[in-house]
Structure 1
Amino acid sequence: MLSYRLIAALLRFALRVFYRRVVVVGLADVPAEGGGPVIFAGNHPNSLLDPALITATCGRVVHFAAKDVLFRGPVMRALLARMGAVPLRRRDDHGGPVSNDDAFEALYDVLGQGRAMGIFPEGLSHDQSELQRLKTGAARVALGAARRHPGVTIRIVPTGLHYVRRQRFRTSVLVQYGEPIAIDADWLARADADEREAARALTEVIERRIRALTVNAPNWETLRALDAVRRLYQPDHLDLTERIELARRFNEHYPKVAGDPAVAALLDRVRRYEARLTALGLTDHDLVGGASKRALMARVAVHGGLLLMWLPLALLAAPIHAPLGLLLRWLAWRFAPRKDVVATTKFLVGLLLVLAVYGLLVGWALWSLGWVAALQVLLLLPLSGYATLMVVRRFDAIDRKLGLLVRSVVVRPDLDALRAERARLSAAVVEMVQRLRPAELELLYPSGPATPARPAARTR
């Protein structure tokens, strides 16, 4: 258990570095350690980062069911064994029927002892725009464990993971825990009557609960278009949780009104608006956050000052961090087998490289210069690494603001026309929502967006 807690602590620290922001919602719905057996059942959009985030945020010791092919490499096998993972055999990986009787027995034991397990019912990480059809494994484990241990109440906690830009380093992620599904006497009676039908019905409930925590669209083009609609509708200064909930609602209700000619025409206008922004190298955030040239220059000055503040500390270890960053970027795209594995490759390879390089440098300092110097190197390297992240962030902000400053002069008429079109589109979206929303659906923002002509907003 000590090795698990050490690895979990390392994951929490590494994830705080890898992601700019990790927002966690619904922890009150998660039974605390010692509060009974729990099955975390979530969507699976980002490979090994999905279980890492649940491990780091849920407050429980979680034993994940993982496909057995992950146990083949010595490093991953040792890591997964320390984390108490249970190998599952997948038919697709073995080219024929397989037996998971031993794995199910191990998971029954985990739950019977009041502990927690995690499983991704989609079966495989993917880069699709919506939740894939769920397999019945989570339901079968829950029902089987409840029947095996009749005095214990198994709870399934639906979990939603949403990455703002899932392949990006320093993006934001939302982890949502939903209301638990208790495997009560009714479910056990249904399982006694027809085990297969009960597992299928429970899987449908799990799917509905996970969909309620995730954003789903039939394709990426629709998802991007509706995200643009969401930005046109939302008020200023929403937090990540509110933005994702608004996006989920638009995508959930869009199929019901997609056949309306007025909706199709409005969505086409939104796409043309987005295309004009892209042609100018702008985003909706740039346009809405449009400021005067003096304000832009002031922001450049602020970012420049912060860059200069962090730069000396960053330069101390720049010969180490700069090659590491470039190597990691190349390795992630060169060796990631699928798009949904790019971020995991960055995270795992980056973590291993940093630990190895830092360890070698601290060891060299200890061997050559003594323990005082080794302690100084141990403290300096991560501080300089963090300073490097801050320098890169401020440099990117300066580059963006200077680009906006140039465009505000060179293409000023186009920007004015786009702002006017945005105002018209925003009003049209609000009117469409008011006209087509189901009567029973309570509006998150009854007055719609409160966006003036040229606000200093922070929508994304």
Structure 2
Amino acid sequence: MGSDGAAPAGPPPAATGDVDDAGETFLIYDLFRAFWTRVVGLFFREIAERNAHLIPTTGPVMFVVAPHHNQFVDPVILLMHAMRRVYFLAAAVSMRRRFIGFYGRCLRGIPVERQQDLAVAGSGRIQLEDRYAEPTLVSGTGTRFTTELRPGMKIGLPRGVGMLRVAEVLSDTQLRISKEIKELKVMEPLTQQDGTAYKIVPPVDQDEMYRAVYSRLNRGECVGIFPEGGSHDRTEMLPLKAGATIMALGATAANPDLGLKIVPTGLNYFHPSKFRSRAVIDFGQPIEIPPELVEKYRRGGDAKREACDELLTTVANGLKQVTLNTPDPETLRLIQAGRRLYRPTQHSLTMAQQVELTRRFIKGYNTYRDLPEVKELRRRIADYNRHLRYYGLRDHQVESMRIGRAQAGALFVWRVVWLAIMGLLALPGTVLNAPVFVVTSVVSKRKARAALAVSTVKVRARDVIATWKILIALVLVPLLYTLYSVAAVVAVRRAPAWLQTDVLRQVAQLSSVAIYMWAWALAAFTSYTALVFGEQAVDIVKSIRPLFLTLIVGTDHTEPLARQREELSDDITELVNELGPQIYPEFSTTRISEQLGPESSTQANLISGSADAFHRRMREGEQALRQRFGAARPAASTAAAGTEDALGEASGSEEPSPPRTRRASKYAFNPPTPRTMATLNSISPMEFLSSATGVALSTAASSDQLADCAGDAAAMPDEGEHGCCRCKQRDAQARAGASTPDPRRGLFYFT
């Protein structure tokens, strides 16, 4: 279902009666809604919602949704959590497509004709001959204005930089536009020496669309609209179109007893284009239509425009309360890094709470960005992020590197074992679905490039990738399973004699239809297993990188990074606790569940607890290994114990902790050389596993030797975890060769 349409800003007609026949049933709508919510729920690992209890349970509701980051996925996520039937405004060009239009009609989408979708190329080229003496006179070369244009039409300039409204057609080569051009980006193509190509944009009659919207609202139903007018992948909302406010004011003016509520709805994705990523949908406080704005709307003219502008400002402010808006990706990465380093509580935050905390960080950063302390922290965070990129790490992996080589080796072996188990369980389904992965990746990227070429608002066109991945998979997966099932039937019926086994003979006694159905079910179950255990295997693979670096470069390089993170975390937490109450008065008086709000999560029905049980067993084993080889150094989170929680969690201490002096980092880094890091990064996964396993096994095999020196280490606490003479000598040799692997004997051979 295409959902990238937004209502135009034209005046609506008076509300009329129902468009659909009375007594209609919702069976088809509910079936397709259930189907698509399951599909999208499978695409995402988790979808959390906040404040769904604010949605009115009765009466007409208009959901105003932003940002529009996924063409097809966004409306389905709203359908999953709105708990009411919602009918979306969809671009008419999408509704005319064969498959998308079919699904859109089944979900009772309301088509919206957009002017840009009806534009056609005009003859010749146009330009402004004298921008000063005749600023509204447009001349053409090889044009046919008298036959192709008429007053009221618009001229579209290349790449959507602007539209010119035709006021009067003078001849085939001259016309006048309605007003003087003042924007430089619009002026530039028209003042080129040879002019510019253009498109003819006809006027659009939206009466049918307004009648459909008013019919839904007058019947107490819900309408969904994306007021940005199209999908994009920017870090801030696009300027909102006025169509939503015109609909709301027009419907209320025609029916004073309507009682319409506008619900701002924010969609926040962690990785919107990636399979098995996460998302959060946030519902804002419903907005009522003020009677004074309705009265101004009835008066028409300038008063009508003022009413629409005031309501649009209110809606935009409501959307800002439930969305993340930063001017550029760099600022968003900076704020997200600060949020991860901030310690609001000793408990881990839920996904929705992370989004809400990021939103508050954005507001705080925009308020205090010019303070010297904030500028200094911004510089230090940027420096910390550079070190993370250098090592190829993520922030949450830094603390796991505060261990010795022995413990890193033992954990590495342990995770490789579990990776083998998870990988073997996921391998058959991964192989079966490999064609789907390849085709969806290739086609979605091509569609993204095509969308980027014709758009002026997209950055990398990631907003179309998830949509195409889902649509392509819906076609390919059934076809692929059908092919496998047919191949299974043929293989059973025509198996050579030397392959005949007792099991195969028993299967051959079944009918071909039964064999086909069993093969289909087996393919689906194998894919389910790959989905459940494959993502766990991917998580294990990602967790190996810190252990890999600890084994290779040693704690001399990783410990300063961990200490830098700890200092940054302390200083950011202190600064936020100091400035937070100035923005949020309830900062220190409410608990985190009240402060950041409750949430609930929707996970794919196919995800069972089996993979989670495997993961818990792996973590339990890791805890036993840590105790066997010695506890890791105190983590940064331990330093926060006993301090007052930033969001009101009681610490149990009556006296406040003494203030700390904020400081710049005093740790100088001496990271491995770029040549060494390039060598580390160039290792293939198989080469890495084959070479590192030998070293890790050798390290784990020395556990008895480590146990022998445990008493010496306890007697010499200043010497650290491996303080005895035998371990000091061995660790010194390991550190000396950590950053200079011998290329003749392999990367993991230490001299």
TM-score by length of 2: 0.56
Alpha-carbon distance, 1:448 to partner? 13
Alpha-carbon distance, 1:259 to partner? 2.1
Q: Where does residue 133 of structure 2 map in the other structure?
A: none
Residue aligned with 1:102, SS: helix
Q: In 1, distance between residues paired with 2:547 and 2:322? A: 39
**Cα–Cα, structure 1 residues 78 and 226, in superposed 2: closer, same or farther, change >3 Å?**
same
Instruction: Single out whichever of 78-87 and 363-372 deviates more from structure 2.
Output: 363-372
Q: Where does residue 704 of structure 2 map in the other structure?
A: none
Please say if 1:301 is aligned against 2:419: no
Q: In 1, distance between residues paired with 2:217 and 2:313? A: 22
Residue aligned with 2:266, SS: strand
For residues 221-370 of structure 1, what are the structure 2 equivalents within 5 Å?
221-235=330-344, 236-290=347-401, 292=403, 294=407, 297-298=410-411, 301=414, 304-305=417-418, 308=421, 311-312=424-425, 314=426, 317-336=429-448, 337=451, 338-358=461-481, 369-370=511-512
Which of 192, 205, 219 is the aligned partner of 1:113?
A: 219
**Cα–Cα, structure 1 residues 455 and 114, in superposed 2: closer, same or farther, change >3 Å?**
same
Which of 17, 30, 33 is the aligned partner of 1:5?
A: 30
Alpha-carbon distance, 1:220 to partner? 0.6
**Cα–Cα, structure 1 residues 315 and 232, in superposed 2: closer, same or farther, change >3 Å?**
closer
Identity of aligned residues (%): 30
Q: Where does residue 41 of structure 2 map in the other structure?
A: 16
Which of 8, 28, 40 is the aligned partner of 2:63?
A: 40
Q: Where does residue 204 of structure 1 map in the other structure?
A: 313
1:348-368 superposed Cα distances (whole Å, 9 cap, x missing partner): 212232234345666888999
Q: Where does residue 15 of structure 2 map in the other structure?
A: none
Q: Where does residue 425 of structure 1 map in the other structure?
A: 568
1:9-45 superposed Cα distances (whole Å, 9 cap, x missing partner): 111211221001010112211123xx11111111012
Letter matched to residue 396 of structure 2? H
Alpha-carbon distance, 1:182 to partner? 2.2
CA contact (8 A) 1:311 1:387 kept: no
**Cα–Cα, structure 1 residues 382 and 270, in superposed 2: closer, same or farther, change >3 Å?**
same
Q: In 1, distance between residues paired with 2:28 and 2:305? A: 38
Q: Where does residue 263 of structure 2 map in the other structure?
A: 157
Q: In 2, distance between residues paired with 1:398 and 1:344? A: 28
**Cα–Cα, structure 1 residues 330 and 140, in superposed 2: closer, same or farther, change >3 Å?**
same
Please say if 1:393 is aligned against 2:535: yes
The structure whose Rg is larger is: 2
**Cα–Cα, structure 1 residues 262 and 68, in superposed 2: closer, same or farther, change >3 Å?**
same
Alpha-carbon distance, 1:129 to partner? 0.9
Residue aligned with 1:439, SS: helix
Which of 51, 75, 91 is the aligned partner of 1:51?
A: 75
**Cα–Cα, structure 1 residues 128 and 309, in superposed 2: closer, same or farther, change >3 Å?**
closer
Letter matched to residue 426 of structure 1? S
Which of 93, 106, 109 is the aligned partner of 1:69?
A: 93
Q: Where does residue 298 of structure 2 map in the other structure?
A: 192
Q: In 1, distance between residues paired with 2:544 and 2:587? A: 36
For residues 105-144 of structure 1, what are the structure 2 equivalents within 5 Å?
105-144=211-250
Unmatched 5+ stretches in structure 2: 1-25, 120-200, 452-460, 494-510, 593-632, 639-751
CA contact (8 A) 1:307 1:391 kept: no
Q: In 2, distance between residues paired with 1:14 and 1:323? A: 19
Alpha-carbon distance, 1:414 to partner? 2.1
Which of 198, 201, 204 is the aligned partner of 1:98?
A: 204
Q: In 1, distance between residues paired with 2:484 and 2:293? A: 57
Q: In 1, distance between residues paired with 2:386 and 2:590? A: 28
- How many residues are matched? 452
1:154-177 superposed Cα distances (whole Å, 9 cap, x missing partner): 111110100001121111000111
Two-structure CA RMSD over aligned residues (Å): 2.9
Q: In 1, distance between residues paired with 2:206 and 2:401? A: 57
CA contact (8 A) 1:303 1:394 kept: no
CA contact (8 A) 2:73 2:467 kept: yes
1:411-459 superposed Cα distances (whole Å, 9 cap, x missing partner): 322211011111111122123224444625146578999x963559xxx
1:292-332 superposed Cα distances (whole Å, 9 cap, x missing partner): 463784586367447626735x4555553122222222222
**Cα–Cα, structure 1 residues 251 and 382, in superposed 2: closer, same or farther, change >3 Å?**
same
CA contact (8 A) 1:328 1:346 kept: yes
CA contact (8 A) 1:37 1:114 kept: yes
Letter matched to residue 47 of structure 1? Q
**Cα–Cα, structure 1 residues 267 and 57, in superposed 2: closer, same or farther, change >3 Å?**
same
Instruction: Single out whichever of 212-221 and 348-357 deviates more from structure 2.
Output: 348-357
CA contact (8 A) 2:70 2:463 kept: yes
Q: Where does residue 410 of structure 1 map in the other structure?
A: 552
Residue aligned with 1:215, SS: coil
Q: In 2, distance between residues paired with 1:200 and 1:303? A: 60
**Cα–Cα, structure 1 residues 443 and 31, in superposed 2: closer, same or farther, change >3 Å?**
closer
Q: In 2, distance between residues paired with 1:130 and 1:344? A: 20
**Cα–Cα, structure 1 residues 400 and 440, in superposed 2: closer, same or farther, change >3 Å?**
closer
Please say if 1:381 is aligned against 2:548: no
Residue aligned with 2:571, SS: helix
Q: In 1, distance between residues paired with 2:291 and 2:417? A: 63
For residues 167-186 of structure 1, what are the structure 2 equivalents within 5 Å?
167-183=273-289, 185-186=291-292
**Cα–Cα, structure 1 residues 184 and 436, in superposed 2: closer, same or farther, change >3 Å?**
closer
Q: In 1, distance between residues paired with 2:371 and 2:208? A: 53
Instruction: Single out whichever of 415-424 and 350-359 deviates more from structure 2.
Output: 350-359
CA contact (8 A) 1:110 1:116 kept: yes
CA contact (8 A) 1:216 1:252 kept: no
CA contact (8 A) 2:489 2:515 kept: yes
Q: Where does residue 251 of structure 2 map in the other structure?
A: 145
1:343-389 superposed Cα distances (whole Å, 9 cap, x missing partner): 21112212232234345666888999455444434433332112112
Q: In 2, distance between residues paired with 1:445 and 1:275? A: 33
CA contact (8 A) 2:217 2:223 kept: yes
1:117-153 superposed Cα distances (whole Å, 9 cap, x missing partner): 1001111111111111111111111111222233321
Residue aligned with 2:582, SS: coil
**Cα–Cα, structure 1 residues 100 and 356, in superposed 2: closer, same or farther, change >3 Å?**
farther
Letter matched to residue 262 of structure 1? E
Alpha-carbon distance, 1:290 to partner? 4.2
Residue aligned with 2:370, SS: coil
Q: In 2, distance between residues paired with 1:177 and 1:363? A: 47
**Cα–Cα, structure 1 residues 326 and 443, in superposed 2: closer, same or farther, change >3 Å?**
farther
**Cα–Cα, structure 1 residues 187 and 390, in superposed 2: closer, same or farther, change >3 Å?**
same
1:55-93 superposed Cα distances (whole Å, 9 cap, x missing partner): 222112111111222123211111111111111122333
CA contact (8 A) 2:60 2:259 kept: yes
CA contact (8 A) 1:162 1:174 kept: yes
